Structure 1
Amino acid sequence: MEAEVLLQAVMDYGYIILFLWLWLGMFIAPVPNEIIVSTVGFLSGQYLHPMAALLTAYIGIIASITTSYFAGRLIGYPVLHWLQRKGPSKSVQIASSIMDKYRVYSLSFSYFIPGVRNIVPFLFGMNRLPFQKFAMLAYSSAFVWCSIFFFSGLYFGQFSKDYPWEGIAFIVLLIGFVMYIGMVTLKKIAANKNVKENETRHQ
Structure 2
Amino acid sequence: MDALISSLMAYGYWGLFLLMVLDPILPTPSETIITLAGTLIAAKKLDLIPAVTAVAAGSVIGSVIAYAIGRYLGRHVLLKYGRWVGIKPAHMVKGERWLNRYKILMLIFGRYIAGVRQVIPYLAGIGRISWFDFTLYTVIGSILWAVTFLVLGRTLTTLVHPVAASIARYWYIVAPVVIVGLGVFIWRRQRTRHARQVPEDQRNTQNTPNA
- Do the two structures share a fold, i.e. TM-score over 0.5? yes
What's the secondary structure of 1:129's corresponding residue?
A: coil
Does the Cα contact within 8 Å between 1:44 and 1:157 map onto a contact in 2?
no
Output the CA distance in 1 between the equivalents of 2:105 and 2:12.
36
On the 8 A contact 1:40/1:153 being kept in 2, the answer is yes
User: Any gaps of 5 or more consecutive residues in structure 1?
Assistant: 166-203
* Equivalence for 1:36: 33
Q: What is the deviation of 1:90?
A: 0.5
- Work out whether residues 58 and 143 of structure 1, in 8 Å CA contact, stay in contact via their aligned partners in 2: yes
2:66 to 65, 68, 75: 68
Normalized against structure 2, the TM-score is what?
Answer: 0.66
1:36–1:14 distance in 2 versus 1, CA, 3 Å = closer
Secondary structure of 2:71 counterpart: helix
Matched, 1:148 2:148: yes
Would the aligned equivalents of 2:38 and 2:150 in 1 still touch at CA under 8 Å?
A: yes
- CA shift in 2, pair 1:43/1:82, >3 Å: same
Deviation by residue 1:118-156 (Cα, 9 ceiling, x = unmatched): 212211112222111111222212221221111010112
Distance (whole Å) between structure 1 residues aligned to residue 79 and residue 25 of structure 2: 19
The alpha-carbon deviation at position 83 of structure 1 amounts to: 6.3
The match for 1:111 is 111
Specify the alignment match of 2:122 in structure 1: 122
**RMSD, aligned α-carbons:** 2.4
Q: One-letter code of the match for 2:116?
A: V
Deviating runs (4+, > 6 A) in structure 1? none
Q: Return the offset for 1:81.
A: 5.1
| Identity across the alignment (%) | 23
Larger CA deviation: 98-107 vs 60-69: 98-107
TM-score (norm. length: structure 1): 0.68
Larger radius of gyration between Structure 1 and Structure 2: 2
Contact residue 40 and residue 154 of structure 2 kept, 8 A = yes
Once the two structures are superposed, residues 143-194 of structure 1 have per-residue CA deviations (whole angstroms, 9 ceiling, x without a partner) of 21221111010112333321349xxxxxxxxxxxxxxxxxxxxxxxxxxxxx
Structure 1 match to 2:16: 18
8 Å contact from structure 2 (residues 24, 62) kept in 1: yes
Cα offset for 1:10?
Answer: 3.5
Deviation at 1:26, TM superposition (A): 4.2
